[in-house]
Structure 1
Amino acid sequence: MYRLLPLAPLLWLLACNDRDLCAESPLCEENRAVNCEPSCTVGPCSNGPNILPCGESAMCSIVPGDINSQRFFRSRALCVQEGSASCDPTTSGAPTCDGQGAQGIISGCSEYKRVIRASCTQAGLYFSNTACCQGEPTDGGTPDGGTSTPDGGTSTDGGR
């Protein structure tokens, strides 16, 4: 019996790892932005929970969505660049990427009117122009980055 007592904390920790991050998101936790997208109709984005460490140059902040936007209406946990003020995505330059393609990071003035960092796998949830995440030039891409299909995740609305 006494041999099992040291295992009790380990068993308790294992039981706590079944967190439903989608039920808790948007969430800022330990300067990480946690978001969950139940459906993905404009890529690049993916279904399910996404965790992005904000790093030293950004702070996680919950930003409300635009209730008048069909695409950017959800509140999100965002890695807002330190020292940046509100921005206007219609007059700001195109976002930039770190050159890693779909696995990289996109930065710039988001549709949430904040200068943010986000993973390219979720870029379609924050930016209208996501061309740099797809390896396309940012000076001639289509407004949605040249794609209107999910990145392989399932969509609850049939992909429309």
Structure 2
Amino acid sequence: MKLTWFGGTTIRIHIGGAILVIDPEGAPAGIATAELVSGADSIIEGFGVDLEEVDLVTWKPRKVPRLLDEGDSLPLVQAWVADRGAILIEAVGEPPLLLVSLDIPTVGRWTEHAVVVVFGDANELRARGGHVVGQFGARLLALAGNEAAVDEAIPALRDSLDETGLVALEAGLALEV
């Protein structure tokens, strides 16, 4: 999985052999939308307003198919919206990816293996990140905010991480997970 955050809630994701672009219309000035979406397999507008809804408490990741059961292609990458401010992306064989732009929704046990990206200013990163590590944990927590916001959020989160990894996304730079 490779994440490239551009600002706001605009992010380009390489996952499960597919490229998804989330919220391209929200890209900062200077980012050419045509270039951002070039080569994308899926473009998700408006932070998932057109996606099917999912219940994050009962959802479970698909199992990796056995070699005997595999077809000629990988299973499709799937995306759902939850509670208006969260997008769940699943690619078989990859950790689930949860993108959160508003309050953290109630989730199931699957999140202990998930990568969670939280978007926002310093207060939002602290609150959302604190909820992730304090309430349900995750494999990795990625902070998507400006440098000052991330610099404020990291000290507030670092002592409560337990087994959750913490990274900061820098605008325009790809992060391989």
Is the TM value for this pair above 0.5?
no
Q: Which has the larger radius of gyration?
A: 1
* TM-score of the superposed pair, with normalisation by structure 1: 0.26
TM-score (normalised: structure 2): 0.25
Richer in helix (by share): 2
